Structures are given as structure tokens and as C-alpha cells.
Structure 1
């Protein structure tokens, strides 16, 4: 039974600790087409296989740091969110810590400086256009979304493999 995130860290390029942050993960919103016509009573929404609306990663920082400012450089950044997640094995009666890792390739699209006030955090934030998102649980890849390379792999199934084949890729 999943319970809580114990803690997490943000890294750039898998090595440089970015700092204390709060992350808002992207929404995966499938592209759709409305279908209507003879034989259909109204409209039906068709979900387009493996195609998603633009994704955004949000990072909120307590204070301004050299590393958080570096993320506003107008280039691609590889961000790792490494999460220690607490689950409970109800059969064994044990608390289990799972390693969850999200890897993103992003480009900055906004940088909010936050506020400056005595004895308080600045709460600056950034929003980043997501080009790639992979999720690993205990080292096993469970999701890979890569729109630019026609990849949509979820739980070991590559849903866009037949599309790549049909396109001669």
C-alpha cells in the first residue's frame, strides 16, 4: 500500500545537486479528435494513440541559488527527481522504501524571482517545457514519453512501435 513521499532531491545531469525544491510533475493529457456522423448518436471522443498535449514541469525553490539560476539558461537541461517513497507491505507487515526516479529533458519557459522579505524564503519558481519524461520504480522503467522520437512506453509496452513501423522509422 503506497503511503507517502519521505523526501526527494533534484539533480541536473545526474550529478549536480540543484537544491531544495518542490516539484509539480507534468500532466499527461492525450490528444483527442471528436468523431460524429452517420451511425453515431452524437459525438464520440477518439484518443490518439501515444500523442499528448505539451507538458510542463514546475520547480519551486525556497531561495535563489546559483544552481536554480542555472536552470534558467535557455538550453536543454536534464533534470533528475530522486524520490524515496514509503509503502507498506500489508502481508509482511513491513514498511518498504521504494526508489522512484523521474528523468526529464526540459527547456525553461518561465522564471519567477519570488519575493524578498526579512526572515522568509524567496519562493522563486520556474516552469520548464518537457521534451522527455521517464519514470523508474526500484530501477525498472515504467514510463517513457518522448514525443520527438515517437516513444510512448508504459509498463513495458511501446504503444508507438507500430506507428514508427508504418512511417518507416
Structure 2
């Protein structure tokens, strides 16, 4: 048996790789390929195919406990460069060693929605922001594992450009 991935120990949100934005909870963007239903002569029925490198719009959600300057700052109508740094706990059950994996998510986002939350005594305000994702990359222990950049024709998954070099050549780029 290999390594057992257990949990996120903690994480932090930064803007421009330096400015700590506070306590938050994040829902990372779902990456969904654009699909097309195929039917016609020579096919017995229909099937769905994922179109190479084409993705649906991505959204990041950040939840803050209270109304903060940084939660409001992230609503400024401009691009924000965020990185979410996580420490994840894992265990090697054969050696009995608990370890830490470093994970970093780099995102360029534009604000879509700000929910200032609620006010109640002795309670979190449950503030949230929703952001359109223009760029998304994930690194595990410093190694790039994922990079999605629709504006620059980048669709990099698990060490491979996933056919975009071929597509860019066909388009003369």
C-alpha cells in the first residue's frame, strides 16, 4: 500500500504572492470540458465527446468569517492574482510516518459577486465572494500538475500540454 492522503492541515490565501488576505474557506474551480453530442450515419445511436482543450467557464468561491477590508478589496473590478497555499497531511502506513505535502493553487480572478453575509450576535457573518477564473494552476510539492489558461491556449494536465501544441500549429499560432 502506498501513501494515504488524509486531510488539509491548514491553508492561507495571498494576493500577489505576498499580501495575506486572512482566514477563509475556498471552493476551488470545477474544470469541466466542453462536450458535443455525436450522432449520424455510421453510428448506432449517440455518444458524447469532450472537445480537446476546450473548457467551460470556471468560478472560485471564497468564504470569510466576517466582513473584512480584504473581502471588500477582492471585489475591486480588476484582475486579482491569488495563491492559495495548503499543507496536506499524508501517512505512509508501512513505515508509520506522517508527512506533509505542499499544495499551491495560483489563480487570476475577476470579481463576480460579493455577499456581505449576515449579522447575528456571537456568530460568523458568513461573507462570501464569487470570482470568474481567468487562469488556474496547481502545484504539488513544487511540481506543476495542472495549468488552464484559455486566453493563451494552455491546457496542461499531469505533465502534458494535452495536444494544444498540435492545435496551435493547426491554427498558425
TM over 0.5: yes
CA distance in 2 between counterparts of 1:36 and 1:146 reads: 30
Other-structure match for 1:62: 65
Q: CA deviation at 1:93?
A: 2.0
Cα distance between partner residues in 2 of 1:50 and 1:31:
8
Q: Cα offset for 1:92?
A: 2.5
Match of 2:147 among 132, 139, 144: 144
- Alpha-carbon RMSD across the aligned residues, in angstroms, is 0.8
Unaligned runs of 5+ in 2: none
1:118 partner SS? coil
Runs of at least 4 residues off by over 4 Å: none
TM-score by length of 2: 0.95
- Counterparts of 2:84 and 2:47, CA distance in 1: 38
The TM-score, its normalising length taken from structure 1, stands at 0.97
Give, in whole Å, the separation in 1 of the partners of 2:7 and 2:35: 33
Task: Tell me if 1:52 matches 2:55.
Answer: yes
The match for 2:102 among 79, 99, 103 is 99
Which of residues 143, 153, 156 in structure 1 aligns to 2:159? Answer: 156
Q: Report whether the alignment pairs 1:26 with 2:29.
A: yes
Structure 1's unaligned 5+ residue stretches are: none
Aligned residue pairs total: 169
130-139 or 85-94: bigger deviation: 85-94
